[in-house]
Amino acid sequence: MWAVGGLVASALVAPLLLAVDFDGTITSRDTLHVIVEAFGGRGVWDELEPSLQAGEITIEDAMRTQFAAVRATTEEALAAVRRDAPIRDGFRRFVAWAEQAGHRMVILSAGFRVVIDAVLADADIANLEIHSNDIAFSREGARLIWAERGGTCGHCGRRCKRHQLALRREPDDHVVYVGDGISDRCVSAQADTVFARSSLAEYLADQGRSYVPFDDFDEIVHHLENHHLRAA
């Protein structure tokens, strides 16, 4: 056994595929909401959320509406994120624990690569596999750049994160999904263990689906250490 930032990682932990959302999961707030509030229109999310939760509009529809009014440079947007959406407690230790224990990790995000890269670089975290949308910021307007997510999902009716997870999942993988929002609903059904908070936790509870609540990544490590041990 060895210590990782005060946590003890065991050589007996079975290798896992860790799929982790970014906005509101790795960060303490959704960076998209932070940027829209700072440089677009305040209250836009509150107006869109009921229709989004009800499935009347897609995540992509909501993002187009949210960012239609955003006028900011990349530097300005990142400054707002750094100020208002810090990284969640324990994530650096979670990454170190996963690497030393031999687990595979992938970030699956509906957010923006330019933001994700900056946040992780600030935390001295490198070499993670990341799949996300992206954005080109400017004072003239923001241009959304959509990720390749295969064909329309037969479960949720949109191009969702299931496609990216399926490409990375091996037949014997125990998949752990960590998320907090609407974009995590469909893909979380593909996981063996789900850690959820915020609206994802509420949705899973309403659906009668099992999940483990969390506030920080140290809790996730402790749960996995306690529940996924097997003899080498």
**CA-closest candidate to residue 186, choices 171, 214, 168, 207:** 207
Cα dist from 191 to 85, 156, 161, 187, 199, whole Å: 27, 16, 12, 7, 18
pLDDT-based confidence at 131, cuts 50/70/90?
Answer: very high
14 pLDDT tier (thresholds 50, 70, 90) = low
Question: 63-82: per-residue pLDDT in tens?
Answer: 999 999 999 999 999 999 99
Whether the predicted pLDDT of 28 surpasses 80: yes
Give the C-alpha distances (Å, rounded to integers) separating 115 from 10, 19, 210.
33, 18, 31
**Mean pLDDT in residue range 104-114:** 97
- Interior angle at CA 97, CA 172 and CA 113, nearest 5: 80
The average confidence (pLDDT) of the chain is 91
Backbone angles phi, psi at 106, to 5 degrees: -140, 135
The answer, yes or no, to whether residue 1 has pLDDT greater than 90, is no
Calculate the CA dihedral of residues 44, 47, 50, 56 and round it to 10 degrees.
-80
- Specify the residue for token string 């890269």: 117
61 has pLDDT over 50: yes
- The two structure tokens encoding residue 47: 């107006």
**What is d(CA 216, CA 119) in angstroms, rounded to the nearest whole number?**
17
For range 89-100, the mean pLDDT: 97
Model pLDDT, residue 232: 33
- pLDDT confidence bin for 211, thresholds 50/70/90: very high
pLDDT given for residue 6 in this prediction: 46
What is the predicted pLDDT for the residue at 43? 83
16-43 in b/e form (b: 16+ CB < 10 A) is: bbbbbbbbbbbbeebbbbbbbbbbbeee
Instruction: Say if residue 231's pLDDT is above 50.
Output: no
Give the pLDDT score at 41. Answer: 81
> What mean pLDDT is predicted for residues 169-186?
95
- Tell me, what's the pLDDT at 133? 97
Give the confidence band of 128 by pLDDT, cuts at 50, 70, 90. Answer: very high
Read off the pLDDT of residues 144-155 as tens digits, 9 standing for 90 and up: 999 988 888 988
Which of 30-39, 45-54, 72-81, 131-140 shows the lowest mean pLDDT across its residues?
Answer: 45-54
Higher pLDDT, 57 or 45: 57
Kindly report the CATH number that applies to the domain delimited by 2-227. 3.40.50.1000
pLDDT at 84 over 80: yes
